[in-house]
């Protein structure tokens, strides 16, 4: 079967865009009015999808800059250099550029009457890749224990996937008053700016009980993701049950993201030294695989196809996790952090 089944192709012409309700405080009061103004100066020939891709490239470029100009993310003893400060402010500007462009693409699509299922896929697919880039940037620029950017990515990615799983049943994407796409990216951009003014050492000052600012921030991200996860499950299951879909069928559609999460957790546990030495590469790989899963989820909703429970993309983490687990079973000790 191809990326879209024959049934999906038959259903595609009848697709109607899902309703998106964005209750974000910053979106309503700052970014939506700003982007309404900016889009008026945008040429009509500029495709909305190109705006989306430009925003994604801004974040990818920022991620590459953070990896190139910052040392391995565990090194926080040295004073932040001027080059590192300028790299941090560059990343902050790129994150903000992505946020603005991400809000402009939909307005440009409506303005030019070019809204399409492809545009929705490109928009949300780019958002899924952004999660990994943000975690990578924060981990590189802030420094500290390499487990923090991984935790940030895993929890936010699961919450992101759950929002689209819920949309599969409810046919609407409802965002709260504090959202990852708006408040989250604004917080990351602001946090990166603080490195320019105060250095990365700022995020390692102890605030209470031996906890520094960076772990505290990651803790808040995890708490927010768990809260959103619970809301998505509740609303999604309620709508699925109302539509006559059994709980088993609805929950079975979470097998791909569950497999993804468990496989990578096993991979990291069984070969932590590899992750510690190659955390940027690891997060990049995670991001690409996760984005593929999200795009498949979105395509199945758009084409009104049943969820698949397995994708070839998952073969890499499953095979590596299986191999590493088997070597542990036969006596090899898991590497630990130095």
Residues labelled catalytic: 124
103, with CB counted inside 10 A (0-12, 13-18, 19+), is buried
* DSSP-derived secondary structure for 75-132: --SSPPPHHHHHHHHHHHHHHHHHHHHHHHHHHHHHHHT---HHHHHHHHHHHHHHHH
Alpha carbon separation from 98 to 131, 139, 157, 279, 336 (Å, rounded): 12, 19, 18, 24, 37
Residue bearing tokens 């699509």:
109
- Residue 214: how many CB atoms within 10 A of its CB? 24
Which residues have C-beta within 8 Å of that of residue 222, sequence separation ≥ 6? 151, 152, 155
């Amino acid at each position: 079967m191809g990326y879209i089944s024959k049934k999906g192709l038959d259903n595609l012409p009848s697709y109607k865009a899902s309703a998106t309700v964005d209750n974000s405080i910053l979106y309503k009061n700052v970014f939506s009015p700003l982007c309404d103004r900016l889009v008026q100066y945008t040429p009509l020939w500029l495709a909305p999808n190109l705006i989306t891709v430009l925003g994604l490239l801004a974040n990818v470029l920022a991620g590459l800059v953070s990896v190139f100009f910052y040392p391995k993310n565990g090194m926080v003893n040295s004073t932040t250099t001027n080059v590192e400060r300028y790299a941090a402010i560059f990343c902050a500007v790129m994150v903000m550029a992505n946020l603005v462009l991400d809000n402009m693409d939909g307005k440009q699509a409506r303005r030019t009457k070019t809204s399409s299922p492809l545009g929705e896929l490109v928009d949300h697919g780019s958002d899924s890749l952004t999660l990994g880039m943000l975690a990578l940037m924060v981990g590189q620029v802030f420094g500290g224990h390499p487990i923090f950017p991984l935790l940030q990515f895993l929890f936010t990615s699961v919450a992101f996937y759950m929002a689209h799983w819920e949309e599969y049943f409810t046919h609407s994407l409802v965002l709260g008053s504090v959202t990852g796409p708006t408040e989250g990216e604004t917080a990351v951009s602001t946090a990166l700016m603080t490195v320019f003014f105060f250095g990365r050492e700022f995020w390692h000052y102890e605030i209470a009980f031996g906890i520094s600012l960076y772990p505290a921030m990651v803790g808040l991200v995890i708490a927010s993701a768990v809260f959103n996860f619970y809301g998505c499950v509740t609303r999604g299951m309620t709508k699925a049950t109302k539509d006559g879909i059994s709980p088993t069928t609805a929950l079975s559609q979470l097998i791909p993201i569950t497999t993804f999460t468990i496989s990578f957790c096993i991979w990291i546990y069984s070969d932590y030294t590899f992750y510690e030495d190659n955390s940027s590469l690891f997060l990049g790989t995670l991001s690409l695989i996760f984005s593929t899963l999200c795009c498949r989820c979105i395509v199945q909703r758009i084409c009104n196809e049943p969820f698949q429970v397995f994708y070839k993309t998952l073969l890499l983490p499953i095979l590596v996790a299986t191999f590493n687990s088997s070597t542990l079973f036969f006596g090899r000790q898991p590497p630990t952090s130095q």
